[in-house]
């Protein structure tokens, strides 16, 4: 009887595994040319990293993909795999079009160059 019920009510497929989203720790410091941002993104490679600027918002998204072989049994856990997400509002003093970035040993480095200050312009006043 019980096997009959089991057959008519098949177990639903397991829900998709939800990935955790982490806020990566960052450093921001001033250089002579602008600001330098560093973010710790362990396990993120160039292929799984997205960096974009929209309006005045800089967003970084990285997917952690540690190479764990199939069938490995977890014995002890101190960190979880997931995605890194963080966004920043850029001030007007950053030259958006000259932003550059590199990824080295799990650290993203974004260079935010200072926009040149607008020079005061003299406006000639004429009279009729």
Partner 1 sequence: MAVFRWGHSWDAFHDLEREVDRLLQSVNMTFQGLRFSRQYPPVNLYELPEEYLIMAEVPGVRPEDLELTVAGGVLGMKGRCVEPEGTSEERFRRQERPRGVWQRSISIPDRVNVDNLSAEFTNGMLKIHLPKAEAAVPRQIPVAFGS
Nearest-angstrom CA–CA distance, 82 and 21 = 6
Report which of 88, 48, 86, 46 is spatially closest to residue 64, judged by C-alpha positions.
48
CB of 12 to partner 1, least distance (A): 25
Q: Is residue 97 helix, strand or coil? A: helix
Q: 35 vs 99, which CB is nearer to partner 1?
A: 35
Nearest-angstrom CA–CA distance, 123 and 121 = 6
- Relative to beta strand 82-89, strand 20-22 is parallel
Edge-to-edge order in the sheet of strand 82-89: 20-22, 82-89, 57-63, 49-54
CB of 17 to partner 1, least distance (A): 16
CB of 37 to partner 1, least distance (A): 9
Scan residues 53-112 and list those touching partner 1 (CB under 8 A): 66-69, 71-79, 85, 103, 105-107
Q: 12 vs 69, which CB is nearer to partner 1?
A: 69
Scan residues 18-57 and list those touching partner 1 (CB under 8 A): 20-23, 25-31, 35-36, 38-45
State the residues that interact with partner 1 by CB under 8 A. Answer: 20-23, 25-31, 35-36, 38-45, 66-69, 71-79, 85, 103, 105-107
């Amino acid at each position: 009887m019980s096997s009959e019920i089991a057959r008519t009510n098949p177990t639903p497929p397991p829900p998709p595994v939800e990935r955790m989203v982490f806020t990566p720790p960052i450093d921001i410091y001033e250089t002579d040319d602008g600001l330098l941002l560093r973010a710790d993104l362990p396990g993120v490679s160039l292929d799984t990293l997205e960096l974009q600027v929209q309006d005045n918002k800089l967003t970084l998204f990285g997917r952690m993909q540690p190479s764990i072989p199939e069938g490995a049994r977890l014995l002890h856990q101190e960190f979880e795999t997931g995605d890194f997400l963080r966004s920043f509002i850029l001030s007007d003093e950053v030259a958006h079009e000259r932003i550059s970035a590199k990824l080295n040993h799990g650290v993203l480095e974004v260079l935010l160059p200072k926009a040149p200050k607008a020079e005061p312009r003299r406006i000639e006043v004429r009279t009729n």
